[in-house]
Amino acid sequence: MKLKARILGLEAGGKLVALLNREDAEDLGVSSLERVRIAKNNREAIAIVNTATKLIERGTIGIYEEVRAILDIEAEEEVDVEISPLPKSVHFIRNKLRQRKLTYEEILEIIRDMVRGNLSEIEIASFVTALHIFGLDLDEATSLSRAMVETGSTLEIDKHPIVDKHSIGGVPGDKTTLLVVPIVAAAGLTIPKSSSRAITSAAGSADRVEVLMPVSLSIDEMREVVEKTNGCMVWGGSLNLAPADDMFVRIEHPLSIDPLLLPSIMSKKKAVNAEMLVLDIPTGRGTKVKTIGDAELLAKDFMELGRRLNIKVQCAITYGEQPVGYTVGPALEAQEALSVLMGERYVPDLVDKATDIAGILLEMSGMKNGKTLAMEILKSGKAEKKLREIIGAQGGNPEVKPEDIYVGEETFTIRSKKKGYLLWINNASLVEIARLAGAPKDKGAGVHLHKKIGDAVRENDPLFTIHAERDIKLQRAIDRLKESYVLGIGERMEMLIHEVREPPIPKKMFMLER
Amino acid sequence: MKLKARILGLEAGGKLVALLNREDAEDLGVSSLERVRIAKNNREAIAIVNTATKLIERGTIGIYEEVRAILDIEAEEEVDVEISPLPKSVHFIRNKLRQRKLTYEEILEIIRDMVRGNLSEIEIASFVTALHIFGLDLDEATSLSRAMVETGSTLEIDKHPIVDKHSIGGVPGDKTTLLVVPIVAAAGLTIPKSSSRAITSAAGSADRVEVLMPVSLSIDEMREVVEKTNGCMVWGGSLNLAPADDMFVRIEHPLSIDPLLLPSIMSKKKAVNAEMLVLDIPTGRGTKVKTIGDAELLAKDFMELGRRLNIKVQCAITYGEQPVGYTVGPALEAQEALSVLMGERYVPDLVDKATDIAGILLEMSGMKNGKTLAMEILKSGKAEKKLREIIGAQGGNPEVKPEDIYVGEETFTIRSKKKGYLLWINNASLVEIARLAGAPKDKGAGVHLHKKIGDAVRENDPLFTIHAERDIKLQRAIDRLKESYVLGIGERMEMLIHEVREPPIPKKMFMLER
């Protein structure tokens, strides 16, 4: 069927989509979400069909940007449109809905079609939901990891051992990476660290690091930095490592499900050819993994998946019931990490965690007394020196000082109404407040804690300060305080956690960071 | 945030959708698929957010037709856009993903938001997938049925008893309704029959009936017809009975799943206030329900659901391994049914099935010897007379004769290469051929069988004729014949069904008709 192209001037989120008048679609014998082959001269694209009853005239076809780019087509040009069979991957997804276990070849076909834009959001949503409900077994997790590597770029570096660290996320203010990478690189190991931006949190590692240096590097630039300095801290999004993952995230986020945690993380480690990995699993109330038992089960899965992918994995189950250090929000966190590396600020839990994790990596690589060695590298200033090398190599200012970092100047400080001890902090509320204040988009926004769990508190002591770049956002965060329980002060934990007088509507905080 | 409206001139499939530049979305604090409240003067709409990186400039908001209509907005007008909380129904869907059983109130909230366009395709797809995987229990099926009635129109008629018949579908050529409705109406019962158009089949009841009379009636017109004639045969799509179902179908079809079979059917019966229902469950190879045991389980569920909805249900488990009668395709079927009602053609299985089903309804209403009575009404010409009354009342030509009906004149007849008996017919292949020939869009397209199972066949006897309205479609159907096994001729069933030499890729035929 010959149809006239109508260029819509809209993107379809990476998918290949065409819009047909319903009558034309019926004549072609295609329904919504089936496929057509669109041809012009010797170019062709397989597009997913959407149908319209009005606004797309008979005889025309609405072309989104992704298809336009492939066909190199202009308005009013005529294209040839025919029905195209469903991609095989759709049949494999349907099999998954019937609880069939998928083979590597089937999973690769699904991931490949997804990356090419050949699967609709409905199909991906259904697939992700089925994975969530049935769970992934380790064979499927392995296949998914491999398929996600196969369909993306990889980093090839000949400087061994190549190590990496990763946190599954869920604890606010976790700027450990900013210390671990320079310590480990200073010890002579190769650590090509890529990170993500915040999705549901107040700051992702890439957001924090970006305060100190550019992070949107190409994979070639990344290799250069690592070859020069042993390490890097870059944003994964510009590297095309496992691009399927970004598409999964688009679907998982609105559904608040995260079935692909394991393959998502491991595929990115495999794509940089990591040989050893420390995986941080923050655990406890207010984190993703609530109990130590669950953390151990997850650790076991990660280690087994690592074994299958030929990555030696050790896990660190860490305490996550309050933020790491005193700050939450990109600039505040970068400032805190830099000060600690310079020996200007004393932040015991951050230093403890960073030297633990760096220490494990040093020992995995054959060195002795990892934690002590990591602490020496930190205290001697070698880690700071290494950080500045990396900053320079990535195009930042290697002379940056903590006071150069801009933090939001609209502030509001919450003070204690009574004396006692700080007994608990609600991570989720803290993140919500930091986000309302503008984080992670406004890098200077966030929350600065003045007390941590266990600290003595006098009446009227400052508890935390909210920073924002704009007054309206500060106000938004302050307004939320009234309905939030951010932290608890008392002499001892009180026995009653929460009264339930009528059936509650549970509002689960969802953390997709990984 | 103030944004300038850009009218996209596109529909979003009934959903309320707005398109934001990603930077603006981040400033608002919304992600893709979260919601914004868009206000102009004193009108407002809650819209689902899609984000674009190019093509939607900062400071503008792309407005689809559904939102434009609510806000009554023009290009370049400024609107006020703020973040809006997630609808409660999204939390309920998330609970379903965690296998929580949903209450009536929760289901009603989901269905209501769906009908209003407040749920995204991703959310609906995930919900439908979860229902498919977990299955519906009868409580949820009841709640869904009631919620689908609650959110649509209902037919109020004061002429009892109100009866109905329905087939779950899956057998081609099933024109039983065209006989049952006039028989039952002639017997004095009220039968306000609504039907659907074909989705995956070659003809839905509405498609067949439309050959004889208009079917796109409003609910008021439907009531008038029923009050005048006791019966009607109209298309459900224009009545707004259980409109949620149309949205479910949009999602179920591409996924090839049908978890809502029970509530979908029963909600439409409840919406016309049916008091008694015969449910036809065609069973056997090539139908939806393969075994009599499965049919009985399904019958049990329908009867129990009926009891909860206050509809007396009886089921007819019928033989479905070949088409009903000799024809498949809207016009061919309408012609066959009309001829049978006029006593001009002898089609034993069609007459048998129609009088069985009509007979059950007559007996449920308290009459004796239902089948005999139904046969009398048919043979006496009373049913034909009643059909012509209904045709007239719905605005068709009550004098219509079989030879007035246009059937496709491009034909191709397949003849037998050997002698023997017709041993089996492949329903799925037959439907595929009829659809390739143009059915249901081209009403005159379809397949005319010359033999049915058990008939003796001589060499060169015609087996079936393909009808098409256009040569190109006839050719498409003929081309497919080469790869299809439509029917089998032999002296007796051969023992080998099918050799499997390498792992097969199963191509399951999916039937969404219901």
Separation between Cα atoms, residue A358 and residue A472, nearest integer Å: 41
Q: Is-cis flag, bond preceding A161, omega within 30?
A: yes
Closest CB from A27, A54, A65 relative to B11: A54
Residue with tokens 């530049």: B21
Let me know: does B276 contact B160? Beta carbons within 8 Å. no
DSSP string over B472-506 = HHHHHHHHHHTT---EEEESS--S------S----
The distance of B55 to chain A (nearest Cα, Å) reads 6
CA distances from A260 to A138, A513, B81, B278 (A): 12, 12, 33, 46
Q: Answer yes or no: is pLDDT of A508 > 90.
A: no
pLDDT tens-digit series, residues A170-182? 999 999 999 999 9
pLDDT tens-digit series, residues B49-70? 999 888 899 999 999 999 999 9
What's the confidence (pLDDT) of residue B483?
Answer: 81
pLDDT tens-digit series, residues B302-325? 999 999 999 999 999 999 999 999
Let me know: does B235 contact B195? Beta carbons within 8 Å. yes
Q: How many CB atoms lie within 10 A of CB A65?
A: 18
* ipTM of model: 0.92
Instruction: Tell me what the mean pLDDT of segment A104-126 comes to.
Output: 96
CA A341 to chain centre: 25
Structure tokens at A365: 């690589």
**Per-residue confidence band for A54, with pLDDT thresholds at 50, 70 and 90:** confident
What's the confidence (pLDDT) of residue A29?
Answer: 87
What's the confidence (pLDDT) of residue B514?
Answer: 79
3-state secondary structure of B404: helix
H/E stretch holding B307: helix B292-309
A325-349 residues labelled b (16+ CB within 10 A) or e (exposed): bbbbbbbbbbbbbbbbbeeebebeb
pLDDT tens-digit series, residues A180-235? 999 999 999 999 999 999 999 999 999 999 999 999 999 999 999 999 999 999 99
Q: Answer yes or no: is pLDDT of A393 > 90.
A: yes
DSSP string over A33-85 = TSEEEEEETTEEEEEEEEEESSSS-TTEEEE-HHHHHHHT--TT-EEEEEEEP
Which of A174, A245, A258, A280 is an active site residue?
A258
Residue with tokens 């001009």: B344
The distance of B83 to chain A (nearest Cα, Å) reads 11
**Per-residue confidence band for A55, with pLDDT thresholds at 50, 70 and 90:** confident
Instruction: Indicate yes or no: CB of B10 within 8 angstroms of CB of A62.
Output: yes
Structure tokens at A284: 């406890």
pLDDT tens-digit series, residues A222-279? 999 999 999 999 999 889 999 999 999 999 999 999 999 999 999 999 999 999 999 9
What's the confidence (pLDDT) of residue B463?
Answer: 97
Instruction: Indicate yes or no: CB of A97 within 8 angstroms of CB of B133.
Output: yes
Report chain A residues whose CB lies below 8 A from the CB of B133: 97, 99, 129-130, 133-134
**Per-residue confidence band for A103, with pLDDT thresholds at 50, 70 and 90:** very high
Separation between Cα atoms, residue B427 and residue B172, nearest integer Å: 7
Report chain A residues whose CB lies below 8 A from the CB of B119: none
The distance of B103 to chain A (nearest Cα, Å) reads 13
What's the confidence (pLDDT) of residue A513?
Answer: 85
Instruction: Tell me what the mean pLDDT of segment A3-9 comes to.
Output: 93
Separation between Cα atoms, residue A300 and residue A167, nearest integer Å: 15
CA-nearest residue to A56 within chain B is B10
Q: Answer yes or no: is pLDDT of B340 > 80.
A: yes
Separation between Cα atoms, residue A190 and residue A390, nearest integer Å: 12
Report chain B residues whose CB lies below 8 A from the CB of A88: 505
**Per-residue confidence band for A512, with pLDDT thresholds at 50, 70 and 90:** confident
Q: Answer yes or no: is pLDDT of A506 > 70.
A: no
CA-nearest residue to B1 within chain A is A472
Q: Rounded mean pLDDT of chain B? A: 95
What's the confidence (pLDDT) of residue A319?
Answer: 97
Question: Which residues, in sequence order, are bridge partners of residue A319?
Answer: A283
Closest CB from B94, B255, B441 relative to A126: B255
A151-170 residues labelled b (16+ CB within 10 A) or e (exposed): bbbebeeeeebbbbbbbbbb
Let me know: does A316 contact A279? Beta carbons within 8 Å. yes
Separation between Cα atoms, residue A335 and residue A403, nearest integer Å: 8
Which of B245, B258, B349, B356 is an active site residue?
B258
Separation between Cα atoms, residue A477 and residue A487, nearest integer Å: 15
The distance of B52 to chain A (nearest Cα, Å) reads 7
Separation between Cα atoms, residue B27 and residue A470, nearest integer Å: 11
Let me know: does B217 contact B225? Beta carbons within 8 Å. yes
Burial of B336 (0-12, 13-18, 19+ CB in 10 A): buried
Structure tokens at B512: 């969404």
Structure tokens at A383: 């880690």
Report chain A residues whose CB lies below 8 A from the CB of B9: 55
What's the confidence (pLDDT) of residue B205?
Answer: 97
pLDDT tens-digit series, residues B135-169? 999 999 999 999 999 999 999 999 999 999 999 99
CA distances from B460 to B413, B419, B447, B474, B494 (A): 11, 8, 18, 21, 21
The distance of B124 to chain A (nearest Cα, Å) reads 8
Let me know: does A273 contact A155? Beta carbons within 8 Å. yes
The amino acid occupying position A307 is R
Instruction: Indicate yes or no: CB of A122 within 8 angstroms of CB of B251.
Output: yes
What's the confidence (pLDDT) of residue A225?
Answer: 98
CA-nearest residue to A94 within chain B is B255
The distance of A419 to chain B (nearest Cα, Å) reads 36
B404 is catalytic: no
Residue with tokens 């048998």: B352
What's the confidence (pLDDT) of residue B433?
Answer: 96
More confident residue, B438 or B484: B438
| Residue ranges of domains in chain A, CATH in brackets | 2-84 (2.40.40.20), 88-135 (1.20.970.10), 163-402 (3.40.1030.10), 407-490 (3.90.1170.30)
pLDDT tens-digit series, residues A412-425? 999 999 999 999 99
pLDDT tens-digit series, residues A299-351? 999 999 999 999 999 999 999 999 999 999 999 999 999 999 999 999 999 99
Return the DSSP state at B278.
Answer: E
Instruction: Indicate yes or no: CB of B10 within 8 angstroms of CB of A56.
Output: yes
What's the confidence (pLDDT) of residue A135?
Answer: 94
Most A-contacting residue of B253, B256, B432 (CB-CB within 10 A), to test interface: B256
Report chain B residues whose CB lies below 8 A from the CB of A97: 129, 132-133, 255, 257
> A379's torsion region: left (phi>0), alpha (psi -120 to 50) or beta?
alpha
Question: Which residues, in sequence order, are bridge partners of residue A369?
Answer: none
pLDDT over 90 percentage in chain B: 89
Separation between Cα atoms, residue B214 and residue B222, nearest integer Å: 11
Closest CB from B34, B62, B125 relative to A125: B125
Let me know: does B514 contact B264? Beta carbons within 8 Å. yes
pLDDT over 70 percentage in chain A: 99
pLDDT over 70 percentage in chain B: 99
Structure tokens at A461: 């002591």
**Per-residue confidence band for B258, with pLDDT thresholds at 50, 70 and 90:** very high
pTM: 0.94
Report chain B residues whose CB lies below 8 A from the CB of A251: 122
What's the confidence (pLDDT) of residue B493?
Answer: 83
Separation between Cα atoms, residue A241 and residue A267, nearest integer Å: 8
Residues 6+ apart with CB under 8 A from B173: B202, B203, B323, B324, B325, B326, B327, B328, B333
Separation between Cα atoms, residue B100 and residue A133, nearest integer Å: 12
Instruction: Tell me what the mean pLDDT of segment A444-448 comes to.
Output: 98
CA-nearest residue to A96 within chain B is B133
Structure tokens at A274: 């990591």
pLDDT tens-digit series, residues B457-492? 999 999 999 999 999 999 999 999 988 889 999 998
Closest CB from B8, B53, B254 relative to A120: B254
Most B-contacting residue of A6, A8, A10 (CB-CB within 10 A), to test interface: A10
Report chain B residues whose CB lies below 8 A from the CB of A125: 121-123, 125-126, 129
Q: Rounded mean pLDDT of chain A? A: 95
Instruction: Indicate yes or no: CB of A8 within 8 angstroms of CB of B10.
Output: yes
Separation between Cα atoms, residue A128 and residue B350, nearest integer Å: 45
